[in-house]
Amino acid sequence: MEFFPAIDIFNGNVVRLSQGDYNRVTIYEEDPSVMARAFRDAGASWIHVVDLNGARGEAGVNDEAIRALCETEGIGIEVGGGVRSIERIRELRELGVSRIVLGTKLARDPEFARQAAEQFGEYLVAGVDAKDGIVAVQGWMETDGLTADDLLANLSDMGFRHVVYTDIARDGMQTGIDQATYRHAAEVAGFPVVVSGGVSTLDDIKDIASWGEGIVEGIISGRAIYEGVFTVEEALAACRGEE
């Protein structure tokens, strides 16, 4: 099971938003590549990056920061936020991004998502962000009434084999995980999910690791690391089932 330390970028800075609120921003680092090197040196193989400017329609604002992250040797960079065209996917690939997350376009334009998956295959990851079972898009600022179950059930037919599922209600709140939500998501999708939202203690990670490969592919956590609840080294050990 992979552990993905999270780097959320807003105006070039590493930040965290509380429940996706752009008015509730905490800045942790002004140079994202500094954080990436620290995560790599701690043993992480991947970093999950959210381009918060891109998520609300400001594509390109953080491209230099993303390029710097991708130039960090020895670690894979997964990026989501504002990926709404084939051209943008190509731009991110040219920056060096290893995996690209589709969110808003996945929910609002299934045909585009299907075509993108045909062209880019394993480079693409489905991003399903939901609150109370309803999918949120446009940086979590809008909903269209689409249920998470309906979206998850169609992922395989669209050509996706990886999904990051975010429980918005718990994201960044350090309130722990809702096991039933992620177990259900994996069952509906038909393949393991990457857990995002609410991972706040090492016990959470140990618990998730015990679910088995059929349910969970990986875990994303950000705020708990930045605020010293646990280290990346400790999280990786917990993923391996070590005490």
Active site residue 8: yes
Output the furthest CA–CA distance in the chain (Å, rounded).
46
What is the Cα–Cα distance from 140 to 137, expressed in whole angstroms? 5
Provide Rg for the chain, Cα atoms.
Answer: 16
The conformation of residue 204, written as its DSSP 8-state character, comes to: H
Strand, coil or helix: 159: coil
Strand, coil or helix: 76: strand
Q: Among the options 8, 51, 167, 204, which is catalytic?
A: 8
Q: Which two tokens stand for residue 7?
A: 């780097």
What is the Cα–Cα distance from 90 to 210, expressed in whole angstroms? 37
Q: Which residues contact 36 (CB under 8 A, 6 or more apart)?
A: 7, 47, 68, 69, 72, 75, 77
Active site residue 167: no
Secondary structure (DSSP) of 37-75? HHHHHTT-SEEEEEEHHHHTT-TTTTHHHHHHHHTSTT-
Q: Among the options 21, 51, 63, 129, which is catalytic?
A: 129
Active site residues: 8, 129
